[in-house]
Amino acid sequence: MYFYKEDLINMIVPDKPDPSAAKVLQEALGGQFGEMRTMMQYSFQSANFRGKAKQYRDLIRGVFLEELSHVELVQSTINQLLNDAGGNMPGNSGVDGAPLDDVIKGGANPHHFIMGAKASLPVDAGGNPWTGSYVYDHGNLVANLLNNVVLESTGVLQKSRIYEMSSNKSLRETIAFLMVRDNAHQNAFAKALETLGVSWGKIFPVPNYDLNKYPECRKYVDLGYHNAQFNFRLDQTRISEVFQGETPSRNGGQLSVTEPPNGYPVPDMPDMPNEHSPGLSDLNN
Amino acid sequence: MYFYKEDLINMIVPDKPDPSAAKVLQEALGGQFGEMRTMMQYSFQSANFRGKAKQYRDLIRGVFLEELSHVELVQSTINQLLNDAGGNMPGNSGVDGAPLDDVIKGGANPHHFIMGAKASLPVDAGGNPWTGSYVYDHGNLVANLLNNVVLESTGVLQKSRIYEMSSNKSLRETIAFLMVRDNAHQNAFAKALETLGVSWGKIFPVPNYDLNKYPECRKYVDLGYHNAQFNFRLDQTRISEVFQGETPSRNGGQLSVTEPPNGYPVPDMPDMPNEHSPGLSDLNN
Amino acid sequence: MYFYKEDLINMIVPDKPDPSAAKVLQEALGGQFGEMRTMMQYSFQSANFRGKAKQYRDLIRGVFLEELSHVELVQSTINQLLNDAGGNMPGNSGVDGAPLDDVIKGGANPHHFIMGAKASLPVDAGGNPWTGSYVYDHGNLVANLLNNVVLESTGVLQKSRIYEMSSNKSLRETIAFLMVRDNAHQNAFAKALETLGVSWGKIFPVPNYDLNKYPECRKYVDLGYHNAQFNFRLDQTRISEVFQGETPSRNGGQLSVTEPPNGYPVPDMPDMPNEHSPGLSDLNN
Amino acid sequence: MYFYKEDLINMIVPDKPDPSAAKVLQEALGGQFGEMRTMMQYSFQSANFRGKAKQYRDLIRGVFLEELSHVELVQSTINQLLNDAGGNMPGNSGVDGAPLDDVIKGGANPHHFIMGAKASLPVDAGGNPWTGSYVYDHGNLVANLLNNVVLESTGVLQKSRIYEMSSNKSLRETIAFLMVRDNAHQNAFAKALETLGVSWGKIFPVPNYDLNKYPECRKYVDLGYHNAQFNFRLDQTRISEVFQGETPSRNGGQLSVTEPPNGYPVPDMPDMPNEHSPGLSDLNN
Amino acid sequence: MYFYKEDLINMIVPDKPDPSAAKVLQEALGGQFGEMRTMMQYSFQSANFRGKAKQYRDLIRGVFLEELSHVELVQSTINQLLNDAGGNMPGNSGVDGAPLDDVIKGGANPHHFIMGAKASLPVDAGGNPWTGSYVYDHGNLVANLLNNVVLESTGVLQKSRIYEMSSNKSLRETIAFLMVRDNAHQNAFAKALETLGVSWGKIFPVPNYDLNKYPECRKYVDLGYHNAQFNFRLDQTRISEVFQGETPSRNGGQLSVTEPPNGYPVPDMPDMPNEHSPGLSDLNN
Amino acid sequence: MYFYKEDLINMIVPDKPDPSAAKVLQEALGGQFGEMRTMMQYSFQSANFRGKAKQYRDLIRGVFLEELSHVELVQSTINQLLNDAGGNMPGNSGVDGAPLDDVIKGGANPHHFIMGAKASLPVDAGGNPWTGSYVYDHGNLVANLLNNVVLESTGVLQKSRIYEMSSNKSLRETIAFLMVRDNAHQNAFAKALETLGVSWGKIFPVPNYDLNKYPECRKYVDLGYHNAQFNFRLDQTRISEVFQGETPSRNGGQLSVTEPPNGYPVPDMPDMPNEHSPGLSDLNN
């Protein structure tokens, strides 16, 4: 069973609205290598796990639990990027303008405004809906771990490219945090494969990025987040039987299981100033 | 952030393997009105919530948290139904037979054996992968709640039909538990709409089923599960501002927020007797 | 604008329930070359038509109008095949049996019973949902007409194969009627191409079938349905500027625009003997 | 069977070409809550209807018949928006320019020009093809009606947002007419649920919009279109057993079944000045 | 079995980067009527061919073999259009800018930069992934050939429209070459149908374009490419039993089987100046 | 450019018809880890390759070329399994029976008979069409190679399971040949990663199968096919700069680039004894 505290796993840094940034950031939420994929893939791999070596199940499930809060973090960041896009919506109070006309002509995802009320969607940067066929669970531990390494490596590769698509601080802070955490998860699954016989030599990390050159990443590296596994279990876990010792990363260091971050407040999202907003204003006036 | 205890929200009742039951039960996991849909839909509705009336966000998020354990419960039940399907797999130790030939000719979902190692998949009863286009979040509280009512009502309607597709006890116990909980969630969202002005009169529940005539359901009704909202929050929640007072259900009773069930053990799943199993046996011999 | 009389375009011949027949007949409804495709394709081609040669628009629209009643005819036939499949459903009145267990093990489409209440669905014989990408309208009259010829030819080719998949009379009567009408539509589009310069020589019909060898088809051939275009217009139409003269079919004969058939009653569909049925019984007791 | 008069159900107001408006308006045609969905959903619900309470079947079918002309209206409006987009196409007469280059760079849907010859497509605003999985027909009258209420409510909610995406008069007139008609259909299905026991209290309409503040809508409200059900039947119908009495809408008024509008001419669409156009010019020169 | 020489079937003409041109050119690669479709369709039609009239199998397979190099040609052209899009990527060496921000705001396909490293993808101009449901092989020779005629005709029709979407020389040269070759394939399949009884009269080619008015096409017409079938077989083929005699095209001429072009060098693609590039630079520093 | 000899890369072993075997074997053709995926993935990775280290491009392209003949081999095997399924088709010569009725009730894929004329399709074992979203090419050499290792490993894992689903010799011979070749490709990509720094230790092969225990595999192992890379290039290739030295496989041995097999005849496929067959019989009588 799952329990919850209303804390985001990282802060949302405010910046100006940017529907293009929101559009590309969707890849990190509903894309083939985004957080919905990692979350559901590790859900299936841990629930379908067979046999007695449950330290590996605990490891996979441990990452799964963190991905739940990654989903929430990206949803909240996309919402931040959309909050005031298009300015005031006229709604009932006046319908002469067409405030979203320019937004649409500027290449935004129209569904951010038609389906979502300026809100995140379960789709990728191209607007394609997430699909269950992304989930890899073939019930062979080594094959699953190899796929997980590819998944996390591709995740961070994509994020390093998305970083180049926007200088918006809301996008970059979230991307940077996730790059460091993806790196930790690369290390976790690579380490698990090491306990099963692989010696990774010099190929990690993929891509060959230096986290410290991304300014937003450096503080998380200083906190050791790239070699840490946050523990969200309220009971015992055997993660540290696997996630320990020297990191497989070329950056070196020791792996350790730690408490999660203290948590960050969920931003208050304003009601939209018209009756189409999701809140109650349309019912109480 | 999300926390976890390794407890299932309900017991898995053992019965003989039944790949056909596993196939139809997938509808309750990866179908358009299954637990992955409810889980993701309430995730988006709560993360995208706008405005100050957070008692409604707390309600939606509270149901979301329970759906996470429903996903796990259905995954585990499907696995139970598949565990020994086809008997011993020959693997390396002998390949003369074709133990799954009859299973396939009997109309099983071949992907349960090709992709899953006798394990659950993110697909529906027809084998179609889950898709993000199922998620409804239009950012208008009343529209969202109405859709949630239809979603839960359709969920229980489908389950009452799936019940008629198999007498297997593993399937029926899980289906029965979920029917009672879907009923509680119908009541939750209907009650929320009542606070916003709807008087439901005599139409609830949809369908017009009597939970007490399903033997497996009755014990959950006796426990009051149809009028209870389990609380999985580790901090404060405002759910009970909405989820209180008389139930909108024709069955009557008072709504109340309660502790979750104590939890049930996750079944140990056997290693498959060949090297293709998901565990470690192939690495340690 | 569209008007309606509650008449089916052909009779529904009763026979015993047959979920396998219902499953394969779905191809003629929601398949890539089924009636939903023809209906929507001709809707787009006629609404998007450009230029002054409106006799061709009238021809395409005339076929579109008939396809609307073909959709209804196949829906009704599938329902007929499913009506008593699985026998009495227990519903509230008793839930010990599992009447659909054998139906599912026999390879039925489970969605016919989970989503539909023993009713037709917008999917093909493999359970894949219909998709808008089937529709061909490229805004070039000759290309559109050639595609329409392929579409109708493939439709009748598929139907001649579906005919071999079941001896059920409900299926065969509907398939036979549609084969004759597909033949008429092949002739219509082929004739239109003749007016634009093609001489079809000896290749028609595709496939090289003899309608008279299908017993159910012969009566429709005797009625001249293979060389007739039914007229559903309440105002003037220029169809007969194109649909006239010698048929392009090897079977010979003269093309003519005629009144539609007199119409056949829509079968009364029984309420299901339990509360999950679609009617009112669950509300009035 | 279905009959036709070549009349549009509302006028097409001319304005300048606008490919962005055409792109977003596709949501109202091929989107998850657009006119193709409503049309096909009510087609299946009426053809699959069981039991004797046929006044409800007549109601659902009555709306279905109107949706057929809504599909045609939106197709025609999209065509109007695309008619002269990009200016003259060079075609054979000269190929030095690239008239669509700017159109594409401006964020148009490229398929409007590659597949359609500046014509409507069966896709949504994001370019995703329509899919049969949108159709809801679960064979339980109350569940179906609730889903229909959500469908119409979401339709009008989306349209109120699309309205804000363009000030083009062609788009706005069609959107406004459909908002009023969606409102009428919300009222129809809500009224049907009232006859089955729901008292809607104050929640309708969803969203909480005032039709009179949309200038294009007001004239339709003055005509009473929001409380009218057009009758397209050529035989008897029992719609008025349900669609009568006080409207469930907060706006008040009496529901009544009326004749359809007189009908509006289908605009003549020009041949494109090159050989790729859909008409005959390429064959006759 | 298949053999290979590293030669492109046509040259890549350099021009400046153009992500919009790359986006629309995807239609010719992964679209419903693009080169992946033709390649896979003829693969299935030739491998599934039944019966003794193998001259038709040889014809279809012969075109299949050429389509393999068309796929490669379009992939290479898209890569050329993307090569320097966005300028230098910062990568590790500096992350202050956001070089792709303008590219995204200009309506590029974001997946060209997130998934592909500025590289081609198996999707269409709208970003929809290629799907196996495009493939037509119904095992009836005449139906297959008719569909192939529609496929090639639609391919050239789409290309004549894509030509109008960009004046970029890289795009236009490749499009022009493919238009001439599609014309040859129209002629091939039309001729095959002539041997089976169709007299095409005056309708070919579809569309009614004059290849000589496209400057890039003229040189290929002068080379006779529109009436040639390249032979990629290393053993005997019976193509010329079908592909001979007078062309069915209105342009006249004699069909002949010839050697393929000499081949053109595959352009060297630069490593990207950062560590995310596909080459080795990230491993060797 | 691509060249061809009409030789299959392995023999087709005859056995009795088996539509269930044909259905599951589709996974190896059109499944997410089947031969269409490997073929298209390596096509994109080689065409999109950047930089100077072309020995890796040659390696990937070399495998791509072999996958082309794997596609053809699986297509031909499926056709063999379907050839006489259902016995004689009545066609025009008599339509009283329903020869496919039992085939359908036995759980066959109905599209094998409706779309294919008893022929292979671009779909997986569940009937889902192949999709371009399967293709992985992220333009980072290490990430691509890791994904290729997972792809080949999953391919062989699935095939070892499919082997258990049928004792049909046609299926088993083809599956066995492909298992050995997948093993060779695992070794190829793993070796490439070794040259880039990975030491695989003891984890290969995945799964932990012993090829020699599959009787059909042993002869291919004796031929050294598991450590061989067939060379289909007609010009120079640099494959052997990578594919050389000790195999990464636990089975040991030396990698070597060799000539392809001599080739096996393509089976003659009988015309179907009715007019729906794909050949010419319907035109010549």
Residue B276 has pLDDT above 80, yes or no: no
Residue D274 has pLDDT above 70, yes or no: no
Residue D3 lies in a domain: no
Predicted local confidence at residue E7, as pLDDT? 93
Predicted local confidence at residue F212, as pLDDT? 85
Q: Find the CATH number of the domain harbouring E170.
A: 1.20.1260.10
Which chain A residue shows the shortest CA-CA distance from B281? A51
Set of chain C residues whose Cβ sits within 8 Å of the Cβ of B165 = 98, 100-101, 103-104, 110, 113
Degrees, nearest 5: CA angle A15-A17-A22: 105
Helix axis angle, C169-195 to C141-162, nearest 10° = 160
Q: In which order are the strands placed within the sheet that holds D254-258?
A: D228-230, D254-258, D245-246
Contact E169, D98 (CB under 8 A): no
Q: Is B208 helix (H, G, I), strand (E, B) or coil?
A: coil
Considering CB atoms only, which of F1, F196, F235 is closest to E9?
F1
Contact F246, F255 (CB under 8 A): yes
Q: Using 50, 70 and 90 to split pLDDT, how confident is the model at D92?
A: very low
pLDDT tens-digit profile of F45-96? 999 998 888 899 999 999 999 999 999 999 999 999 998 888 766 554 445 6
Which chain E residue shows the shortest CA-CA distance from F276? E140
b/e per residue A127-150 (b: at least 16 CB within 10 A): bbbbbbbbbbbbbbbbbbbbbbbb
| At least 3 CB pairs under 8 A between chains F and D | no
Cβ–Cβ of A95/D215 closer than 8 Å?
yes
Q: What mean pLDDT value characterizes chain A?
A: 88
- The answer to whether the bond into D205 is cis (omega within 30° of 0) is yes
Which class for E112: exposed (0-12), middle (13-18), buried (19 or more C-beta within 10 A)? buried
The two most distant CA atoms of chain A are separated, in Å, by: 68
Q: Which residues fall within 8 angstroms of residue B179, CB to CB, at 6 or more apart?
A: B156, B159, B160, B163, B209, B211, B214, B217
Set of chain D residues whose Cβ sits within 8 Å of the Cβ of C9 = 1
Residue A285 lies in a domain: no
Separation CA B181–CA B183 (nearest Å): 5
Cβ–Cβ of E275/A208 closer than 8 Å?
yes
Alpha helices by DSSP H, chain A: 19-30, 35-47, 54-82, 101-105, 111-114, 141-162, 169-195, 215-222, 239-242, 281-284
Q: Which of these, F120, F105, A108, lies nearest to D126 by C-alpha position?
A: A108
Predicted local confidence at residue A92, as pLDDT? 45
Separation CA E81–CA E103 (nearest Å): 13
Residue F280 lies in a domain: no
Among the listed ranges A197-201, B151-155, E88-92, which one has the minimum average pLDDT value?
E88-92
Separation CA F128–CA F107 (nearest Å): 16
Between residues D96 and A182, which one has the greater pLDDT?
Answer: A182
Question: Residues of E at the D interface (Cβ-Cβ below 8 Å)?
Answer: 20, 23-24, 27, 31-32, 106-107, 124-128, 157-158, 160-167, 202-203, 207-210, 213-215
Predicted local confidence at residue C95, as pLDDT? 54
Q: Which of these, C268, C214, C240, lies nearest to C14 by C-alpha position?
A: C268
Residue E283 has pLDDT above 50, yes or no: no
Measured CA distances, F153 to C67, C211, C219, F180, F209 (Å):
49, 52, 59, 11, 11
Separation CA F158–CA F140 (nearest Å): 27
Residue B89 has pLDDT above 80, yes or no: no
- The CA distance from D262 to the nearest CA of chain B, in Å, is 34
Which tokens is E185 given? 């394939």
Q: What mean pLDDT value characterizes chain B?
A: 88
Considering CB atoms only, which of F20, F32, F167 is closest to B105?
F20
Residue B249 has pLDDT above 90, yes or no: no
Average pLDDT over residues E224-240: 92
Separation CA C124–CA E178 (nearest Å): 35
Mutate to test the interface with B, among D145, D198, D204, D249 (most CBs of B within 10 A): D198
**Beta-carbon pairs below 8 A across chains A and B:** 259
Predicted local confidence at residue A280, as pLDDT? 55
Which tokens is C3 given? 């008007």
Residue E213 lies in a domain: yes
In 3-state terms chain F splits into helix, strand, coil percentages (rounded to 5) of: 50, 5, 45
Q: Using 50, 70 and 90 to split pLDDT, how confident is the model at D1?
A: very high
Q: How many CA atoms lie within 13 A of B265 on its CB side?
A: 4
DSSP D174-227: HHHHHHHHHHHHHHHHHHHHHHTT-B-TT--SSS---GGGSHHHHHHHHTTGGG
- Please compute Rg for chain E using Cα positions: 20
Predicted local confidence at residue C134, as pLDDT? 98
Contact B278, A196 (CB under 8 A): no
Q: How many whole angstroms from its chain centre is CA C282?
A: 33
Residue B12 lies in a domain: no
Predicted complex ipTM = 0.93
Paired sense of beta strands C254-258 and C245-246, if any: antiparallel
Is F271 annotated to bind a ligand? Reply is: no
Between residues D81 and B102, which one has the greater pLDDT?
Answer: D81
Residue E30 lies in a domain: yes
b/e per residue A172-203 (b: at least 16 CB within 10 A): bbbbbbbbbbbbbbbbbbbbbbbbbebebeeb
Q: What is the pTM of this model?
A: 0.94
Cβ–Cβ of F166/B101 closer than 8 Å?
yes
Between residues B161 and F268, which one has the greater pLDDT?
Answer: B161
Predicted local confidence at residue C146, as pLDDT? 95
Q: Using 50, 70 and 90 to split pLDDT, how confident is the model at D233?
A: very high
- The CA distance from D90 to the nearest CA of chain C, in Å, is 16
Predicted local confidence at residue D97, as pLDDT? 74
- Of chain F, the percentage scoring pLDDT greater than 70 comes to 92
Which chains have 3 or more CB–CB distances shorter than 8 Å to chain E? Answer: A, C, D, F
Is C231 annotated to bind a ligand? Reply is: yes
Which tokens is D66 given? 């109107």
Among the listed ranges A243-252, C73-82, C209-218, F263-272, which one has the minimum average pLDDT value?
F263-272
Predicted local confidence at residue E104, as pLDDT? 87
Set of chain E residues whose Cβ sits within 8 Å of the Cβ of D103 = 165
Cβ–Cβ of B276/F209 closer than 8 Å?
yes
**Beta-carbon pairs below 8 A across chains A and D:** 84
**Beta-carbon pairs below 8 A across chains B and D:** 81
Average pLDDT over residues F209-224: 87
pLDDT tens-digit profile of D40-73? 999 999 999 988 888 999 999 999 999 999 999 9
Residue F150 has pLDDT above 50, yes or no: yes
Which class for F104: exposed (0-12), middle (13-18), buried (19 or more C-beta within 10 A)? buried
Set of chain D residues whose Cβ sits within 8 Å of the Cβ of A95 = 163-164, 213-215
Average pLDDT over residues D266-270: 79
pLDDT tens-digit profile of A144-162? 999 999 999 999 999 999 9
Q: How many whole angstroms from its chain centre is CA B137?
A: 20
Set of chain F residues whose Cβ sits within 8 Å of the Cβ of E122 = 40, 44, 132-133, 135
Between residues E94 and C197, which one has the greater pLDDT?
Answer: C197
The total of structural domains in chain F comes to: 1
Residue F9 lies in a domain: no
Return left, alpha or beta for C228; rule: phi > 0 is left, psi -120 to 50 is alpha, else beta. beta
Is A185 annotated to bind a ligand? Reply is: yes
Residue E94 has pLDDT above 90, yes or no: no
Average pLDDT over residues D189-201: 90
Predicted local confidence at residue A95, as pLDDT? 54
Beta bridge partners of B229: B257
Mutate to test the interface with C, among D26, D27, D48 (most CBs of C within 10 A): D48
Set of chain C residues whose Cβ sits within 8 Å of the Cβ of D84 = none
b/e per residue A245-263 (b: at least 16 CB within 10 A): eebbbebeeebebeebbeb
- The CA distance from A68 to the nearest CA of chain B, in Å, is 7
Which class for C96: exposed (0-12), middle (13-18), buried (19 or more C-beta within 10 A)? exposed
Cβ–Cβ of D97/E208 closer than 8 Å?
no
Residue E278 has pLDDT above 60, yes or no: no
Residue B29 lies in a domain: yes
Set of chain B residues whose Cβ sits within 8 Å of the Cβ of A115 = 137-138
Average pLDDT over residues F217-246: 91
Set of chain B residues whose Cβ sits within 8 Å of the Cβ of C128 = 128
Among the listed ranges A203-217, D81-95, D258-272, E143-157, which one has the minimum average pLDDT value?
D81-95
Separation CA E97–CA B87 (nearest Å): 60
Predicted local confidence at residue A90, as pLDDT? 57
Mutate to test the interface with D, among B131, B147, B189 (most CBs of D within 10 A): B147
Domain that holds residue F245: 19-87+104-266
Which tokens is D63 given? 């709306």
Secondary structure element (H or E) that encloses residue D141, with its range:
helix D141-162
Measured CA distances, B66 to A49, A155, B212 (Å):
22, 28, 23
Q: Which residues fall within 8 angstroms of residue B239, CB to CB, at 6 or more apart?
A: B55, B58, B59, B62, B229, B231, B257
- The CA distance from C120 to the nearest CA of chain B, in Å, is 15
Q: Which residues fall within 8 angstroms of residue D155, CB to CB, at 6 or more apart?
A: D28, D33, D34, D38, D178, D182
Measured CA distances, B14 to B17, B79, B205, B268, F273 (Å):
9, 11, 30, 12, 51
pLDDT tens-digit profile of A18-47? 999 999 999 999 999 999 999 999 999 999
Q: Using 50, 70 and 90 to split pLDDT, how confident is the model at B92?
A: very low
Which chain C residue shows the shortest CA-CA distance from B103? C105
Separation CA E257–CA E244 (nearest Å): 8
Set of chain A residues whose Cβ sits within 8 Å of the Cβ of D17 = none
Which class for E253: exposed (0-12), middle (13-18), buried (19 or more C-beta within 10 A)? middle
Secondary structure element (H or E) that encloses residue E281, with its range:
helix E281-284
Residue D203 has pLDDT above 90, yes or no: no
Predicted local confidence at residue B106, as pLDDT? 85
Q: Is D108 helix (H, G, I), strand (E, B) or coil?
A: coil
- The answer to whether the bond into E205 is cis (omega within 30° of 0) is yes
Considering CB atoms only, which of E98, E105, E128 is closest to A106?
E105
Q: Which of these, B178, B182, B184, B188, lies nearest to B145 by C-alpha position?
A: B188
φ, ψ for residue A123, nearest 5 deg:
-135, 170
Residue C266 has pLDDT above 80, yes or no: yes
